Amino acid sequence: MNTVLEHRTWRYATKKFDATKKISEKDLETLLEATRLSASSYGLQPYHVIVVSDQEVKELLKPASWGQSQITDASHIIVFANVTDFGEELVDDYLTNMSETRNIPEEGLKGYADFMKSKLMDLPLETKGTWSAKQAYIAFGNLMQAAAELKIDTCPLEGFESEKYNEILGLNDKNLNSTVVLAVGYRSEEDETQHLPKVRKSKEELFTHI
């Protein structure tokens, strides 16, 4: 089996973490950099990532996560929060960054700025939120796969109360909404799920070649 598939076969949604094992700072920085380098529409990254290691905060989040033990037993909880609304500043800030990073005069990027604004600024509020949440999921998937390459376990979680997360993490005043959560750490030997084969659709059922 090639390495790409080996990592994906090894990874599973960890149900029970070993609470005594913590991710090293070096590995955490690698995971976060892989997340930062993720693709997003236009490169705008309309989301923010909250990394929770404080045990007291994790204890607060657990009741808002349907009582799931992964929240308190995992080394870190990584919350992806999408931008709920945005104006031209989203594009302007990005192009200022591009100008500085690539040493390009900002006025030379006006055409690109106008194009992006024409596609994004008139979207309804709900559509803006849906679009930004989709971008967060792209980065979320990249984080999961980077973790698998480092043999760090993960459990993706959508089973949580977003409103309570927003309140606990102070997101409401920041124009952010908790979208999806990733528990990150190391599997417990007691987690029987790790021994089960993956259940996936067959290639014939899943793929159509044209």
Tell whether 39 is covered by a domain: yes
Question: Domain of 145: which CATH number?
Answer: 3.40.109.10
Tell whether 24 is covered by a domain: yes
Q: Give the separation between CA 30 and CA 41, rounded to whole angstroms.
A: 23
* Tally of domains within the chain: 1
pLDDT given at position 152: 98
pLDDT given at position 94: 98
For residue 145, the one-letter residue type is Q
Cα 81 to Cα 171, 181, 189, distances in angstroms: 8, 9, 32
pLDDT given at position 24: 98
Find the domain containing 26 and state its range: 3-85+130-206
pLDDT given at position 144: 98
156 and 180 in contact (C-beta within 8 Å)? yes
Tell whether 33 is covered by a domain: yes
pLDDT given at position 101: 97
Closest CA to 28 of 141, 134, 154, 132: 154
Tell whether 122 is covered by a domain: no
Tell whether 25 is covered by a domain: yes
Tell whether 13 is covered by a domain: yes
Low-confidence ranges of the chain (pLDDT < 50): none
Tell whether 170 is covered by a domain: yes
pLDDT given at position 119: 98
Q: Give the separation between CA 133 and CA 127, rounded to whole angstroms.
A: 10
pLDDT given at position 85: 97
Q: Give the separation between CA 35 and CA 62, rounded to whole angstroms.
A: 24
Tell whether 110 is covered by a domain: no
Question: Please, what's the b/e burial string for 39-54 (b: 16 or more CB within 10 A of its CB; e: otherwise)?
Answer: eeeeebbbbbbbebee
